[in-house]
Amino acid sequence: LIITIDGPSGAGKGTVCRRIANNLGYSLLDSGAMYRLTALDCIQKQVDLSDEHAVVNIAKNLDIFFEALTETTVIRLSGYDVSHAIREENVGMAASVIAAYPDVRTQLLQQQRDFAQSKGLPKGLVADGRDMGTVVFPAAHVKIFLTASAQERARRRVLQLESSGAQHIDHAVILKDIQDRDERDMSRATAPLKPAVDAYLLDSTSLSIDEVCKVIMDRIALVNA
């Protein structure tokens, strides 16, 4: 069974996908991490993000490794643990820039499908991203488009940053980053962020994580019935 959960940054996909995958004993594909790893590799190697050819080359030669643990996934780039580094705000912004290059997407699309194959899909896969239901796994059995208002997503991001020790966070700056990233993700020509025609739209603005997971688990149960 393949379950795709797409949606904009900060809608809660990461937490929800992990919970659902753990509940069902499914593998988890964090496609955003692949875009972030490409961006981080470019930053570390001082590749100009506007040089599409050079960025594609980086995507093609990524040396990455995902080690799934229950609560987290250890992510390595060229052997180094970059699980935290890829979550930095500047890496997310850079990821959304390079994600607009069609050939970068083609490279990572193949790696995403290979990931699903390599897991042998023992029971199933939960795929987290922007184009999982529209492009990467169009035949997925359950497709969810998880969203929330930009204000709420910014509020959640501020809380997350504060809980990881950051100080003096400006809500307005975070909101602007989220709006810029939405704009870039939705307006790109290749695989823009949008719900698949057969996706279930779920607005989490006033829902808890538990409530979101319950709605999704109920939908999976319907397909399994």
Question: Judged by CB under 6 A, which stretch of 53-61, 94-102, 146-154, 155-163 contacts ligand C5P?
Answer: 94-102
Least distance (Å) between residue 38 CB and ligand C5P: 9
Q: Residue 74 and residue 193: Cα distance in Å, rounded?
A: 27
Question: Judged by CB under 6 A, which stretch of 61-69, 124-132, 194-202, 205-213 contacts ligand C5P?
Answer: 124-132
Residue number, 31 or 204, with CB nearest to ligand C5P: 31
Among 104, 181, 202, 204, binds ligand C5P (CB under 6 A): 181
Report if residue 185 touches ligand C5P, rule: CB under 6 A: yes
Report if residue 95 touches ligand C5P, rule: CB under 6 A: yes
Report if residue 195 touches ligand C5P, rule: CB under 6 A: no
Among 11, 40, 59, 99, binds ligand C5P (CB under 6 A): 99
- In the chain, helix, strand, coil percent, each to 5? 50, 15, 30
Which residues, 6 or more positions from 87, have their beta carbon under 8 angstroms from its beta carbon? 36
What own/partner pairs with CB < 8 Å and gap ≥ 24 does 102-108 have?
102/189, 102/190, 103/52, 103/56, 103/59, 104/35, 104/38, 104/52, 104/55, 104/56, 104/59, 105/131, 105/190, 105/191, 107/56, 107/59, 107/60, 108/31, 108/34, 108/35, 108/38, 108/59
Residue number, 180 or 224, with CB nearest to ligand C5P: 180
Residue number, 97 or 169, with CB nearest to ligand C5P: 97
Among 19, 36, 153, 157, binds ligand C5P (CB under 6 A): 36
Full DSSP string of 168-186: S--HHHHHHHHHHHHHHHH
Region 2-31 residues binding ligand C5P, contact defined as CB under 6 A: 9, 31
- Cβ atoms < 10 Å from Cβ of 62: 16
Q: Residue 82 and residue 105: Cα distance in Å, rounded?
A: 21
Binding track, positions 127-166, relative to ligand C5P; x by CB under 6 A = --xxx-----------------------------------
| Contact residues for ligand C5P, defined by CB under 6 A | 9, 31-32, 35-36, 92, 95-96, 99, 129-131, 181, 185
